[in-house]
């Protein structure tokens, strides 16, 4: 008798599961044709009833910089929808770069990819590995090939090219730049002049940087001369290697160049600033860095152009932006996110996605997006627009990033970039904290990066 | 004796300071503009408080809808967890057999699985049921809580057989037993679990972000996520305003329930 009970209860337990599923299914929103549902959400149903049904495309986007950017994107998309009767774009906020990539991957691997999305530029090889995106060459060809791509700063396509094709269209792109506190430079003018520096401009080479940060460091007041921030220190360090005329890996992603003297020199310079002279804090969190700068606890910082609107908003003093100081040349990697179009979707959706991308990167939109976000105005024609000219006149600090693009390089790109980045950051961290010497760091980096590259 | 009292109070005071201080800063910063936050009086309340941050976050994201969704999802999870797990824990505690033992081990293993590892399989299951972009999809994966099964099984095991026998003699069936003996006597455990469950799922971020697309089904944490930035550093005023809005309901809930919560512990001494 008791056994029967036992069995019955276990059965009930197992049976409730599917029952529950059914219950859950019932709660689901009534199924409607996708276009209609979407139109209803945006309150545009009326319009679409009159005209033909639009192509509905999902757009996953990233918010990487401060400010109500989700709102800005929603606004841009709404304008696109209002001016394009046959296409309805549904913007979907997908978190930061990593979360967006997870969301995109989950959707692609489940066979329901978003039509168009923005992810970090280093993810290109991963997207190719899961066969998730289509090349954009045929669209670019139709738009006029080189005349089309010629509108954009060339360095920006560097990370969108692979296997002889173009897979992405630049959108929210940034580079590191040097921010400097003009008031603090002016306050220490005498000492800077005594050392042969010009207090009215930012340091232009590594020597000047070293001297200026030594002078401006004030331990009693807790002021750092410069901040080499942690978190994305791999990105900033890459810039130093370019400035020194070196590179990290070969173009075909087969050979590590971490063993080169240029890399060692850059490592030694970082070690000097953080550990010998102690003019830069060893590992300041990325998010904390602009706060230190804006609250007057650092005279200079290396930071993304994406931080510009925020620093402008929260600083109580006059600040400037400048090219990152050079060694043998100016140099910087680019960063940020590109548009991609998914593979497993109907061709009309792909065409609609391209229409959308083209519109979002048009001169007007690129300039608008740059003003709102602090990202580079990727479209050269956008810089010539009157409202952009006016903006740059009022706020010349925003000009530096675009000008520095002349000296920019594609960001390091390799099939297993995330793995490389992991060892890269770990070793830089260890060195900045003084746990290993530059020589040791270089050796470790070279062997592990080469091993990762060989594995592929 | 008296000195020991004072020492106790000092320790309590210090501990509450540690807990209250971040909350204090959150409120203070939420009412300041960006320049004031980084000014020299950053620890003190603003002399010219502003509601700008709140206005701006409400413009930037539909927090009202998010709040309603969060409440639906959190209560949905809790109710279904209790409905599913209380009978299950009863079986695990009172009818040990190979099958129930095996099932229990499955539950315990599940405690150790991080959600991140299950995102893609869960996503595909939700897709197969056509549940993507629904509130149900945010509820389902958390219903079979291994943690809850474990806690309740232990609680049920401690209930003396004699009470159970008495109830059976009085004519209670399985569900009668649950209702009249097991649930009342495990109230402290159930209360504690409910609070943990609500707080945990109030803060769920990654899964809701990935499984939902449209604002009408999304939850509060996703709204908050829009103000935490990786590339540029955060706008602290807005971030704190959003945090105030998101944490306030749950802080209030806990303050209101505090009494019930303590009471359930005090009365639990009478049992058996």
The pLDDT tens digits of the residues spanning A339-348 come to 999 999 999 9
Q: Which of A13, A294, A307 sits opposite B91 (nearest CB)?
A: A13
Average pLDDT, integer, range A264-277: 94
Q: Which residues of B touch A99 (CB under 8 A)?
A: 206, 209-210, 225
pLDDT at position A67 is 67
Task: Check residue A389 and give its pLDDT.
Answer: 93
Q: Is the pLDDT of residue A7 over 70?
A: no
| Model pLDDT, residue B198 | 93
Instruction: Say whether residue B229 is in contact with chain A using an 8 A CB cutoff.
Output: yes
Q: How confident is the model at residue A23 (pLDDT cuts 50, 70, 90)?
A: very low
Yes or no, beta carbons of A6 and B100 under 8 Å apart:
yes
Report the predicted TM-score, pTM, of the whole model to 2 decimal places. Answer: 0.83
Of the ranges A39-48, A168-177, B81-90, which one carries the lowest mean pLDDT score? Answer: A39-48
| ipTM (interface predicted TM) | 0.82
Q: Which residue of B has its CA nearest to A296?
A: B38
Q: What is the pLDDT of residue A15?
A: 45
Q: Which of B97, B129, B233 sits opposite A310 (nearest CB)?
A: B233
Indicate yes or no: CB of B87 within 8 angstroms of CB of A9: yes
Q: Are B222 and A93 in contact (CB < 8 Å)?
A: yes
Residue A377 or A456, more confident? A377
Please give the average per-residue pLDDT across A275-285, as a whole number.
Answer: 92
Q: To probe the interface with B, which of A90, A95, A308 has the most B CB atoms within 10 Å?
A: A95
pLDDT of A109 above 80: yes
pLDDT at B266: 62
- Please report the pLDDT score of residue A287 as a whole number: 84
Give the pLDDT confidence score for residue A6 in this predicted structure. Answer: 55
pLDDT for A130-165, tens place per residue? Answer: 999 999 999 999 999 889 999 998 889 989 998 899
Does B48 contact chain A (CB < 8 Å)?
no
**Predicted pLDDT at A40:** 47
Residue B78's pLDDT is what? Answer: 96
The answer to whether A14 and B100 are in contact (CB under 8 A) is no
From the first residue on, what is the mean pLDDT of each consecutive set of 10 residues in chain B (272 residues)? 82 93 92 81 82 86 91 96 94 91 91 86 92 93 91 91 89 90 89 90 93 92 83 80 91 82 61 44
Which region, left, alpha or beta, applies to residue A228 given φ > 0 means left and ψ of -120 to 50 means alpha? beta
Identify the top-confidence range among A264-278, A369-383, B23-37.
A264-278
Q: Percentage of chain A surpassing pLDDT 90?
A: 64
Please report residues of A whose CB lies closer than 8 A to that of B230.
Answer: 64, 96-97, 286-287
Closest residue, chain B, to A23 (C-alpha): B136
Using CB atoms, which residue from B39, B59, B225 is nearest to A316? B39
Nearest to residue A153, comparing CAs of A423, A410, A385? Answer: A410
Chain A CB contacts of B227 under 8 Å are 66
Set of chain B residues whose Cβ sits within 8 Å of the Cβ of A304: 231-232
Any A CB within 8 A of B172 CB: no
Tell which wins on pLDDT, A316 or B74: B74
Which chain B positions have a beta carbon within 8 Å of A69's beta carbon?
226
Report the pLDDT value the prediction gives residue B227, as an integer from 0 to 100.
Answer: 83
State the best of B55, B75, B222, B232 to mutate against chain A, taking most chain A CBs within 10 Å.
B232
**Mean of pLDDT over chain A:** 87
Structural domains of chain B in order of their starting residue, each with its CATH number: 51-270 (1.10.3720.10)
CB contact under 8 A, B88 and A315: no
CB contact under 8 A, B120 and A313: no
Interchain contact, A314 vs B229, CB within 8 Å: no
pLDDT for A21 beyond 50: no
CA distance A197 to A202: 9
User: In B, which residues are within 8 Å of A95 by CB distance?
Assistant: 206, 209, 222, 225
- On whether any CB of chain A is under 8 Å from the CB of B174, the answer is yes
Q: What is the set of domains in chain A, with CATH numbers?
A: 51-174+335-407 (3.40.190.10), 176-333+414-455 (3.40.190.10)
Quick one: which of B173, B220, B212 has its CA closest to B62? Answer: B220
Query: Is A309's pLDDT higher than 70?
Result: yes
Question: Chain A residue with minimal CA distance to B173?
Answer: A5
Q: Tens digits of per-residue pLDDT, A401-443?
A: 888 988 999 898 887 888 899 999 999 999 999 999 999 999 9
The whole-number pLDDT of residue B264 equals 66
> Is it the case that residue A24 has pLDDT exceeding 80?
no
């Amino acid at each position: 008798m008791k056994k029967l009970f036992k069995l019955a209860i276990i059965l009930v337990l197992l049976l409730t599961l599917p029952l529950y599923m059914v219950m859950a299914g019932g709660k689901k929103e009534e199924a409607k044709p996708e276009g209609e549902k979407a139109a209803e959400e945006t309150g545009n149903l009326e319009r679409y009833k009159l005209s033909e049904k639009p192509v509905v495309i999902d757009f996953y986007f990233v918010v990487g910089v401060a400010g109500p950017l989700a709102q800005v994107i929603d606004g841009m998309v709404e304008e696109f929808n209002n001016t394009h009767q046959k296409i309805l774009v549904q913007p979907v906020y997908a978190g930061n770069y990593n979360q967006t990539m997870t969301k995109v991957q989950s959707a692609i691997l489940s066979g329901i990819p978003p039509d168009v999305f923005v992810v970090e530029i280093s993810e290109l090889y991963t997207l190719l590995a899961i066969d998730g995106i289509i090349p954009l060459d045929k669209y670019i060809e139709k738009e006029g090939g080189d005349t089309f791509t010629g509108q954009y700063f060339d360095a920006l396509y560097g990370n969108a090219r692979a296997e002889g094709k173009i897979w992405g269209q630049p959108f929210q792109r940034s580079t590191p730049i040097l921010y400097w506190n003009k008031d603090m430079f002016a306050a220490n003018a005498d000492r800077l002049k005594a050392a042969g520096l010009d207090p009215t401009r930012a340091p232009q080479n590594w020597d000047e940087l070293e001297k200026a940060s030594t002078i401006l460091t004030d331990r009693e007041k807790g002021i750092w001369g410069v901040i080499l921030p942690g978190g994305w220190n791999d990105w900033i360090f890459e810039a130093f290697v370019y400035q020194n005329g070196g590179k990290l890996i070969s173009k075909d992603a087969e050979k590590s160049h971490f063993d080169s003297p240029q890399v060692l020199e850059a490592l030694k310079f970082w070690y000097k600033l953080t550990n010998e002279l102690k003019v830069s804090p060893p590992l300041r969190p990325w998010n904390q860095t602009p706060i230190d700068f804006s609250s007057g606890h650092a005279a200079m910082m290396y930071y993304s152009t994406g931080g510009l609107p925020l620093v402008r908003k929260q600083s109580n003093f006059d600040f400037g932006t400048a090219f990152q100081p050079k060694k043998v040349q100016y140099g910087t990697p680019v960063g940020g996110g590109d548009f991609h179009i998914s593979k497993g979707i109907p061709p009309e959706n792909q065409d609609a996605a391209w229409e959308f991308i083209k519109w979002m990167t048009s001169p007007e939109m690129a300039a608008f997006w740059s003003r709102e976000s602090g990202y580079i105005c990727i479209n050269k024609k956008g810089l010539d627009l009157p409202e952009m000219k006016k903006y740059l006149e009022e706020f010349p600090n925003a000009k530096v990033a675009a000008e520095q693009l002349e000296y920019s390089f594609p960001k390091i790109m390799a099939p297993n970039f995330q793995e490389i980045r992991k060892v890269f950051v770990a070793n830089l961290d260890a060195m900045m904290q003084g746990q290993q010497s530059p020589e040791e760091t270089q050796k470790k980096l070279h062997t592990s990066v080469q091993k990762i590259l060989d594995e592929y | 004796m008296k000195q020991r009292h004072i020492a106790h109070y000092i320790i309590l005071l210090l501990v509450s300071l540690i807990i209250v201080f971040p909350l204090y800063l959150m409120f203070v910063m939420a009412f300041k503009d960006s320049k004031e936050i980084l000014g020299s009086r950053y620890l003190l309340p603003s002399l010219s408080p502003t509601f700008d941050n709140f206005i701006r976050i409400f413009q930037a994201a539909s927090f009202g809808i998010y709040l309603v969704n969060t409440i639906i999802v959190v209560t949905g999870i809790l109710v279904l967890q209790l409905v599913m797990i209380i009978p299950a824990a009863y079986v695990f505690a009172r009818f040990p057999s190979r099958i129930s033992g095996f099932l229990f081990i499955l539950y315990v293993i599940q405690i150790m699985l991080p959600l991140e590892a299950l995102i893609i399989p869960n996503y595909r299951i939700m897709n197969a049921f056509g549940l993507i972009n629904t509130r149900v999809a945010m509820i389902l994966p958390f219903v079979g809580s291994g943690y809850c099964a474990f806690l309740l099984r232990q609680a049920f095991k401690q209930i003396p057989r004699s009470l159970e026998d008495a109830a059976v003699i009085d004519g209670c069936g399985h569900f009668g037993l649950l209702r009249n003996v097991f649930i009342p006597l495990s109230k402290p455990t159930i209360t504690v679990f409910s609070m943990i469950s609500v707080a945990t799922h109030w803060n769920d971020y990654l899964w809701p972000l990935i499984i939902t697309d449209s604002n009408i089904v999304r939850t509060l944490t996703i709204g908050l996520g829009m103000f935490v930035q990786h590339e540029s550093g955060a706008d602290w005023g807005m971030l704190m305003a959003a945090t105030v809005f998101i944490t306030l309901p749950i802080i209030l809930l806990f303050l209101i329930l505090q009494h019930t919560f303590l009471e359930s512990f005090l009365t639990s001494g009478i049992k058996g």
